[in-house]
Amino acid sequence: MTRHYCPTCRYPLDTCLCAHVQPIYPQTQLLILQHPSEVEHKKNSVRVLSLVVPDTQVYVGETQDDFAVLQSELARCDKPIYLVYPSQQSVSVETQPIPADCVLLLIDGTWRKAFKILQLNPWLAQYPAVHLAEGYESRYKIRKSSRSDSLSTQEASAYMLSALDAGLDIQPLIEVFELMVDLRIKAMPPDVQLRYLTSK
């Protein structure tokens, strides 16, 4: 049987999120480098992020050529630019005097694919790297990760925005994300649902 999809959120009609989206407009500009495999992934959190934060810009690709337009736009940018990626060189965003009116570059993909994008795009190294402090717990229980500290791109964006601007209400991001996860679980067969509902 053919499934019908919402033209706005692009989720199946029985899991449509549009009525629950409350847009927010942070000072921070979010630019997402998205791996091509994530574009049509049914558990893609960037799709939801872009609904709640309409100014989010998504660039799909892997190589430098794929991100040529993004590089040109960043070269003309007059705001501080930071790469969100945990590494030995990155610093905690909570402990740095970073202005809310800045640009955050986030890589959307599995850890392996995000690392590949980083390796194929050495130009990203020109931007200071930042990460979130420890203690954030992911609600992304419908998608497994090889790392225990993994957050979805939407969760990482929400917590980054909150760290940069304590006065910003990020609940619209968190609430619609949790709803998306719950609806995805409810759409699963009962035996599969049980697996997720009882998991820690």
Q: Residue 53: what pLDDT?
A: 97
Mean pLDDT for the stretch of residues 110-134:
93
Check whether 144 has a pLDDT greater than 60.
no
For 113, the token pair is 């694919």
pTM of the model: 0.86
Show me where the domains of the chain are located: 27-197
**One-letter amino acid of 150:** S
Check whether 81 has a pLDDT greater than 80.
yes
Q: How far apart (Å, rounded) are the C-alpha atoms in residues 104 and 97?
A: 14
Check whether 107 has a pLDDT greater than 90.
yes
Asked if 182 and 196 count as a contact pair (C-beta separation under 8 A), the reply is: no
Find the range with the poorest average confidence among 12-21, 24-33, 40-49.
40-49
Q: How far apart (Å, rounded) are the C-alpha atoms in residues 152 and 139?
A: 8
Q: Which CATH architecture has domain 27-197?
A: 3-Layer(aba) Sandwich (3.40)
pLDDT tens, residue by residue, 148-157: 457 889 999 9
Q: Residue 4: what pLDDT?
A: 82
DSSP letters spanning 126-153: GSPEEEPPTT-----TTS--SSTT---H
